[in-house]
Amino acid sequence: MATATAPVPDQTILAKGYVHPEVLVSTTWLAANLDNPSIRIIESDEDVLLYDMGHVPNAQKVDWHADLNDPVVRDYVSREKFQELLRSRGIDETKTVVFYGDKNNWWASYAFWVFQLFGFDNVRLLDGGRVKWEQEGRRLVTDVPSFPRTNYTAPERNDTRIRAFREDALRHAQSKRPLIDVRSPDEFTGKKTHMPEYPQEGVLRGGHIPGAKNVPWGRAANADGTFKSSADLRAIYEKEVGLKPADDVIAYCRIGERSSHTWFVLRYLLGYDTVRNYDGSWTEWGNSVRHPIEIGA
């Protein structure tokens, strides 16, 4: 089956010096391609009501909880359910999927990552996400588009290449390999067990995985939600933290959404070949019997 032609990034994105600029599209590019038949636009938000209040024209909704997570097992949907999701959205290998969302693309990055778990790599992020689109006064609509069903066949999910589990994180801690905790400083130090202004979600202990370095996810973003330049990102992750492109890195947060944003930055914008997202994150680690924690900076 023929595959879609990758969007060509505009000069705004190319000027940022990313290793893989092709994974980003600008609001200007998307506005010019809203009716492109080879494009499928997906909104994925923390606030699942936002889409109904108004969305980018021709965008479809993917609910991170209902559409991507198994309703019973703490895991992602099966191959069959992922396959049906894409078929119902008119997506197959001939389509380029552009994700965007609220919270500077937290959940858009998460959806991007889950699609990659199933080997669907013809995916892009809208640089700046919903925030930038709204700030620029671009059009939002409430009508829900419909596209012809496809016959897309999904492969089995690959849980080893870009996903880390608790024991992977433990081995990283024991061998002193890089662990990046992308939560807020108060969560990292153990002062809080949840994000500011968010409810406590059931974790029993505060702190961080031993040896982890704290780089809050938001440091990678500008005020308008766009990603910082490659030079600025390298100043954070390499000069401050000491990461190297050849490192084997695991990123985590509380349930994997913020760390998928950092995973995207390291994997695509900075070109790190071996980066995994530990989606169990602190809600799993902080409740695990006999798993060590550190408290404080």
Catalytic residues: 253
Alpha helices in 146-274 (DSSP H): 166-175, 185-189, 230-234, 257-264
Helix 106-117 with 257-264: angle, nearest 10 deg: 80
Q: How many helices (H) and strands (E) does the chain have?
A: 11, 10
C-alpha span between 216 and 258 (Å, rounded): 9
- In a 3-state reduction of DSSP, which class is residue 60? strand
C-alpha span between 234 and 153 (Å, rounded): 38
Residue 290's contacts (CB-CB under 8 Å, 6 or more residues apart) are: none
Alpha helices in 136-290 (DSSP H): 166-175, 185-189, 230-234, 257-264, 281-285
Strands (E), 39-94: 39-43, 59-61
